[in-house]
Amino acid sequence: PDDLDGALLLLASDGSKFINGAVIAVDGGHLVSSL
pLDDT of residue 27: 82
pLDDT top residue among 13 and 33: 13
Domain spans in the chain, listed from the N-terminal domain onward = 2-33
Residue 35, pLDDT > 90, answer no
Q: Is 23 left (phi over 0), alpha (psi -120 to 50) or beta?
A: beta
pTM above 0.75, yes or no: no
Whole-number pLDDT of residue 28: 76
Q: For 1-30, what is each residue's pLDDT tens digit?
A: 677 888 889 889 999 999 898 888 888 777
- The Cα–Cα gap between 35 and 22 comes to 21
20 versus 32: which is more confidently predicted?
A: 20
